[in-house]
Amino acid sequence: DAVSVGMISGAVGNYAQVDPIVEQKTCARLGLRPASISTQVIQRDVHAEFVATLALIGCTLEKISVELRHLQRTEVLEAEEPFTKNQKGSSAMPHKRNPIGSENISGLARVLRSNVQAAMENVALWHERDISHSSVERIILPDSCILLDYMLQRMSGILENLVVYPERMRRNLQLTRGLIFSQPVLLALTGKGMSREEAYQIVQEHAMRCWQSGEDFQQALAQDPRIGARLSADELAKCFDASTGLQHVHTIYRRVGLIDE
């Protein structure tokens, strides 16, 4: 709606040779609003906003792409793009399974952002209008629209066929031997009356030692009488339940329309 405007206001925008009613009726027929102020053309900040919006959508696609590229790294491998039977990841290294779709989208997002700069350069036209913007818009407007359409189509295909590895996710969660649950332990201790400063100091003390020694974090905490005085074995074990982190995700899914109200 912000960019759905039109104008028929004459050569310099003052309706010298045309009644404004012509503009109003024509725009209404086309589903547009008459531009509040125009010269020989609609002000180019409208076009800049449109191109910027396309680039912002592209940024979101790139954000997803970057996440997928990281998830497909060999040392992470929690998800990866679909890899067809005869596809090649590298002409030199047959073992490669590169996320070429996500890499492609990341690159094209840069093109969309560069087009925003060109669109902004078009805003400051001379007087009622010079024609310097025209050659730029003939490139960036169709290119940005076509590029974003392609990026959306390609991302849809990637997500529809995404390969996910839940077991690898579980394994990665265990890499720190329980250290990722330090916050639930901290909150449980404060919930039992321990000051936050003392609870933080105790939990951090064990966490730093476990980082260095590689020992299990839960076992280290269970052996500390200061923690045992506040938390039972079951209460401590509950702090290490990964499913607790998912207890409110339905709220997020509902907000983005993935589940019904």
For residues 67 and 239, what is the distance between their CA atoms, to the nearest angstrom? 28
If one counts every other C-beta atom within 10 angstroms of the C-beta of residue 210, the result is 21
In this structure, what token pair is assigned to residue 99? Answer: 């996320």
pLDDT for 89 equals 80
By the 10 Å C-beta count (0-12 exposed, 13-18 middle, 19+ buried), 113 is classed as middle
Task: Inform me whether the pLDDT recorded for 91 exceeds 90.
Answer: no
What is the rounded average pLDDT of the residues 65-86? 94
By the 10 Å C-beta count (0-12 exposed, 13-18 middle, 19+ buried), 260 is classed as exposed
Domain CATH code at residue 100: 1.20.200.10
Q: Does residue 159 share a domain with residue 54?
A: yes
Q: Does residue 116 share a domain with residue 70?
A: yes
What is the model's pTM?
0.83
What is the rounded average pLDDT of the residues 14-40? 88
**Within-domain flag for 119:** yes
Q: What average pLDDT does the chain have?
A: 93
pLDDT for 90 equals 80
Partnered with residue 164 across adjacent β-strands are 79
List all residues 6 or more positions away from 85 whose beta carbon is below 8 Å from its beta carbon. none
Q: Does residue 163 share a domain with residue 83?
A: yes
Higher pLDDT, 82 or 13: 82
For residues 88 and 167, what is the distance between their CA atoms, to the nearest angstrom? 26
Q: Is 42 helix (H, G, I), strand (E, B) or coil?
A: strand
Q: Does residue 185 share a domain with residue 86?
A: no
* Residue 227, domain extent: 175-246
Task: Inform me whether the pLDDT recorded for 12 exceeds 90.
Answer: no
Percent of the chain with pLDDT over 90: 72
pLDDT for 49 equals 95
227's enclosing H/E stretch is helix 225-228
Q: Does residue 191 share a domain with residue 108?
A: no
Count of structural domains, the chain: 2
**Within-domain flag for 83:** yes
Q: pLDDT tens for residues 164-221?
A: 999 999 999 999 999 999 999 999 999 999 999 999 999 999 999 999 999 999 999 9
> Residue type for 174, please?
Q
If one counts every other C-beta atom within 10 angstroms of the C-beta of residue 151, the result is 24
> Residue type for 227, please?
I
**Within-domain flag for 117:** yes
Q: Does residue 182 share a domain with residue 148?
A: no
In this structure, what token pair is assigned to residue 61? Answer: 């696609």
pLDDT for 147 equals 98
Q: pLDDT tens for residues 45-70?
A: 899 999 999 999 999 999 999 999 99
